[in-house]
Amino acid sequence: DIQMTQSPSSLSASVGDRVTITCRASQGIRNDLGWYQQKPGKAPKRLIYAAVTLQSGVPSRFSGSGSGTEFTLTISSLQPEDFATYYCLQHNTYPPTFGPGTTVDIK
């Protein structure tokens, strides 16, 4: 299986901060990567697919970059509703695998 790692595992930030989360794959996955946001008790919500494409309806403060083995999710100006856990997902190779998650909480 392709192993996905994320850093940091958690971070504390303030409203208005720029936040960057990194996801690394154990082998190259081209751009077959998505980013998901999950709030407590809710299903994950897709933010980004194909590494850089913003899901329709997702605010433009979210952006994705990267290809191959290293990817980033950036929130340009953190808003109160962005406090959540973020997961990356690779779907290049079966089985699809998720990163362990990054929890963003309020400083």
Provide, rounded to whole angstroms, the least separation between the CB of residue 96 and another protein.
5
The C-alpha angle with vertex 98 and arms to 97 and 104, in degrees rounded to 5, equals 175
Interface with another protein, residue 71, by CB under 8 A:
no
Q: Which is nearer to another protein, 71 or 87 (CB)?
A: 87
Closest alpha carbon to 93 in 43, 36, 26, 44: 26
Site for another protein in 7-46 (CB under 8 A): 32, 34, 36, 42-46
Provide, rounded to whole angstroms, the least separation between the CB of residue 31 and another protein.
9
Distance CA 29, CA 90 (A): 7
